[in-house]
Amino acid sequence: MKKQDWILILCIAVVLAPFFIPATGFFDWFNSTTSNHPYIMAFFKFAILATLGEMLALRIREGVYNKPGFGIVPRMMVWGFLGMCIAMAMVIFKSGTPVFLASVAGCDPQVLKDVFTAPELTWGKLGIAFAVSVLMNSIFAPVMMTFHKCTDIHILDNGGTVRGLLRPMKMREIFATKVNWDVQWNFVIKKTIPLFWFPAHTITFILPPTFQVLFAALLGVALGLILALAGGSKK
């Protein structure tokens, strides 16, 4: 491990420490703020954690956490926006999936909602959580992942600057010539969604609501590592 790795570990420890020190009251503040301002908190959770995942991926591939043109701030802005979209999608699919399942089974939707929101873990709750995960990741995730890939290319093409991020995206050119569809389709969508995201988000949806978006953002760190290892490392 290099000096930069120890600095990162120290920074992470400093950030996490207040969660484990009751006297700080940080844990209670986190819960209340997440409940009162879920989308603002989703912005910052994903901006920090998912961007960290991309920095770790760069570290694995090229031996550094940042480089000219990488664009940490633009990536944080994109991930923050996507974080709010993901938080919105979670609300929609958590609310709509029990209703859909009830319409298929011919039962009262409230019965399934009560099972899904019950504090205790049951096979019924686990099954509904899995259904929510499958629907959200089959319908919403491919679009989100592809959009993120396009923004990633756009950031790199414009030197990793905030001004460059705000320039109009050349979507036709990016789609036609710059997205590696073999990787995007055959690995990112066809493999990571069913093999990683289906089970991972099943766990997400059985957690307390205030921790679901945070756990989803932590999964972004894990996915960054998966993508880096799948692409091979240079150092």
Claim to verify: residue 59 and residue 152 sit in the same structural domain: yes
**pLDDT for residue 229:** 58
Angle between helices 209-231 and 38-62 (to 10 degrees): 20
122 and 202 inside one domain: yes
Amino acid 224: pLDDT: 66
Instruction: Look up the domain containing 4 and give its range.
Output: 1-36
Residue type, 182: D
Same domain, 29 and 51: no
Measured CA angle at 156 (ends 150, 159), to 5 deg: 140
Q: How far apart are CA 98 and CA 107, in angstroms?
A: 10
The domain total for the chain is 2
Question: Are 119 and 22 found together in one domain?
Answer: no
Shared domain check, 70 and 30: no
The structure's pTM equals 0.89
Query: Which tokens is 123 given?
Result: 């096979």
Give yes or no: residues 32 and 87 share one domain: no
Mapping DSSP to helix (H, G, I), strand (E, B) and coil, where does residue 101 land?
Answer: helix
pLDDT, residue 132, reads 97
Q: Which is nearest to 53 in space by CA: 198, 227, 215? A: 227
Same-domain check for residues 30 and 121: no
Is the pLDDT score of 150 beyond 80?
yes
Residue partners of 231: CB distance under 8 A and separation at least 6: 61, 183
User: Is the confidence at residue 12, as pLDDT, over 70?
Assistant: yes
The pLDDT, as a whole number, for residue 233 is 43
Whether 116 and 221 share a structural domain: yes
Other Cβ atoms less than 10 A from the Cβ of 1: the count is 7
Q: Do 178 and 203 belong to one domain?
A: yes
Is the domain of 29 the same as that of 77?
A: no
Nearest CA to 219 among 137, 115, 126?
Answer: 137
Do 134 and 44 share a structural domain?
yes
Residues 100 and 3 in one domain: no
Each residue of 182-211: pLDDT tens digit?
888 998 899 999 999 999 999 999 998 888
pLDDT tens by residue, 101-111: 999 999 999 99
Cβ 221 vs Cβ 52: under 8 Å = yes
Q: Give me the chain's average pLDDT, please.
A: 88
| DSSP letter, residue 178 | I
